[in-house]
Amino acid sequence: MDEQALIRKAQKGDTDAFADLLALHEHFVYNLALRTIRSPEEAEDIAQDAFVRAWQALPSFRGQSSFRTWIYRIVLNLCFSRFPRLRRELNDLATEDMQDLPEASKTESDPAASLERRERRALLHREIERLSDSQRLLISLRYQDNMPYEEIASLVGLPLGTVKTGLFRAKERLRQSLAIYECLDNM
């Protein structure tokens, strides 16, 4: 059964259809909460609350956005109300000095380079965890959900330029961490 049919049935109070929707989205919803606020307990609580609120509000869901975007909005509103500093942090992302980093090129590498690449990837994953909450939120939406910049901007309620700046600064910080790591590695 497709998602639209599940939504229509769930809107009429069918809990089995809602269970199927839950199975489709639970990991993404929990992931967004966890990547944004880091605490697994809080993330689970927010994700659970988001699904219950989604169930309550489902009759008013008109399908103007995808179900996932709609429930993400609920997750973010819960995050903003429980952690007001997240909203402030997002608002503080200034738009000046914004540039786009070029897209990555696809390159084949030898096994040794591949091993090094894996090490650097692990390091960067740790560094992503150390970014600010707002930067992790933007990265999660952009790279884990493949959301276009415009949709992210609409979801978090920020201008498009601010979203791009936030992502640029996050990448810039990762680049600096990588540079320090490589400098230490060459010593």
Q: Summarize as ranges the residues that interact with other proteins (CB under 8 A).
A: 8, 11-13, 15, 18-19, 22-23, 26-31, 34-35, 40, 43-44, 47-48, 51-52, 55-60, 101-105, 107, 117, 120-121, 124-125, 128, 139-140, 142-144, 171, 174-175, 178-179
At its nearest, how many Å lie between other proteins and the CB of residue 102?
6
Residue nearer to other proteins on the CB measure, 57 or 88: 57
3-state SS, residue 121: helix
At its nearest, how many Å lie between other proteins and the CB of residue 89?
19
Residues 6+ apart with CB under 8 A from 169: 93, 135
At its nearest, how many Å lie between other proteins and the CB of residue 153?
18
| Sequence letter at residue 100 | D
Q: In a 10 Å sphere around its CB, with 0-12 CB exposed, 13-18 middle and 19+ buried, how is residue 106 labelled?
A: exposed
Residue nearer to other proteins on the CB measure, 102 or 111: 102
Which residue in 61, 7, 50, 6 sits closest to 26, CA to CA? 50
Specify the DSSP class assigned to residue 145.
S
At its nearest, how many Å lie between other proteins and the CB of residue 156?
18
Residue nearer to other proteins on the CB measure, 82 or 88: 82
Residue nearer to other proteins on the CB measure, 155 or 170: 170
Pair 43, 30: CB distance under 8 Å: yes
